[in-house]
Structures are given as C-alpha cells and as structure tokens.
Amino acid sequence: MRKIKIGTRGSKLALWQAYHVAELLKNSDLESEIVIIDTKGDQVLDVSISKIGSKGVFTQELEDQLLDGRIDLAVHSAKDMQSILPEGFEIIAFTEREKENDVILSHQPEMDLTDGSKPLLLGTSSTRRVATLRHFYPHIKTVEVRGNLQTRIRKMDEGLCDGLLLAYAGVHRMGYDAQIVQELSLEEFTPAVGQGSVAVEVASNMDSALKIKLTEALNHTETALKLRAERAYLRVLEGGCSIPVFALGHLRENRLKLCGGIVSLDGKQRISLEVEGSKEDPEALGKQLAKEVFDAGGKEILDQIKSTLNK
C-alpha cells in the first residue's frame, strides 16, 4: 500500500500532532509521510484572528490540497476546526484528548490571578480567554500575542507581558511544564470546543475502505463522543475562533454530560449551563445545550458579539 500523505502546518506543535498521527498509523501497519503547508493564520501574525476572519484561518490551504489529492489527510488542533466544514470534507477521527485546562506560563512563580493589588499583564490571542478574564478577574490587563508557542514565549521574555494564557495541551506537548505557574479551573475557564484533541480531516470522496482503515487507526471513541456533542453545540452558535463560546463534554459510563456557554466580549455577561443525556446521540445533547443557552439570553449576547466584530 502507498504511503499516506499527512498535511500539517509547520509549527513545532503542529508537527508534534502530525508525527503523533503518523505514529498511530504505524501502530496499525500504515506507512505515512508528512507534508508541511503554510496557512493564512501562520502568515498574518500582526492582525488578530477576529480581524482576519475566523473561518478557515488555519485550515483553508490544507483543505485545498486535500481536494486535489496532494495530501490524503489533514491534521489540525480540534479547537481550530470551524463548526461547519465546507462541502466535500469530513472529520474521520479525534485522537485521545490531553488534559483540557487553560494554564498561565510565566517566569514569576508567585503570580496569582486573585491578587488585585499588583498590576498584571497577560498575553493571549483568544477572545474567550480575554472575555473570561474580564468576567472573573477584571483587574487583569491583556495584550494580543500571536505566533507559535516559541514565538509567544520569546515575546514574553522580551517584556511584552508578565505571563501567557495558553492551553495545557500545547504547553505540555512542547515540554514547557516547568514554566506553568497556575492551572486554571475548568469551571471558570471552560475550554474552547475540542481543546486538547487532534482532528483528522479528509475529502469526503476518499476511498471508503481506506477511510475505514484510517478511522480505526486514529479515532479515540470516548474523545470523539465528547467532541461530537461539543461541536454540535458550536454549530448552532456558529462559533468560530473569534466568538467567546465554550463547551466541555464529560463521559461517565453510558451518560454524557455537556457543560458550556457564552461570555460577552466585555465580560459583564456570562452564561454557563450543563445538560446530561445518553451517549448514543451526542449531537442531540449539543443542540439541547445550545437551545438552553439561547433561551437564557445567549442569543442576545451572540448577536451583540457579531455586531461588534463586524464593525
């Protein structure tokens, strides 16, 4: 059988993900090779993601190569995947999820979010994290920091900020655990949909036998159930990278619990709810949560966010 061509962005973290997928394929006796592709999100670093446009910022170029057959599968951070894929594409696998928490990276080990007596400047490119900080810790200031993890750490070292607000998964995979000064609670900093997992995307017209073989090699069933619920929630809210929505699935035996919500850009309004149901229909649970969030005032918050971002 020919080698499976894995398309990926070129950052160290993206390459970690691609080699992780290659290793899973190898465990199923499938050979692969890695193809590095530059995306718009990698090229434009001086503009916030919400200004570039959140749809396909990190995926468009990979999808172009899936479509014309230059690569067989594309590897993404699941949290970077838009809620509705363009026609002709599908996600066939989610890898086993890493710990989902957000963390603060800093050279100041005594840093404490709750201490309002000391000025604190945190770097992040996430509207969800900024809005969450504004809600729970309004005394903390933020600065836009983009680029790969190593670039962000360099900017912090150069004095741009006191610390970085990041996903534990990326920090851990890159070996920066020693610089973590605080792990944030999942209740306050409920993560972005898909945070901690790797998504594997293919063209829908891929040979069905190969598609099945790849899914069996790469998909982690429990993670996929959680993410199917989270992504169904995101689809209803039409959330992209620039919309501060959040959701996290929890699986216990045959029951699936989904916690999620939305926070206004200024942090003043935050809705967080949870629903529970059978794991047999995770999409239905995601839609149920979205309806309850909308009914609780989430629709007005979402409309306001979209209005502000479109100005």
- Positions annotated as catalytic residues are 80
Query: Which structure tokens are listed for 61?
Result: 């170029």
d(CA 192, CA 113): 20
User: Which amino acid does the sequence have at 171?
Assistant: V
Q: Cβ atoms within 10 A of the Cβ of 131, count?
A: 25
For the packed helices 208-218 and 12-27, what is the interaxial angle rounded to 10 degrees?
A: 110
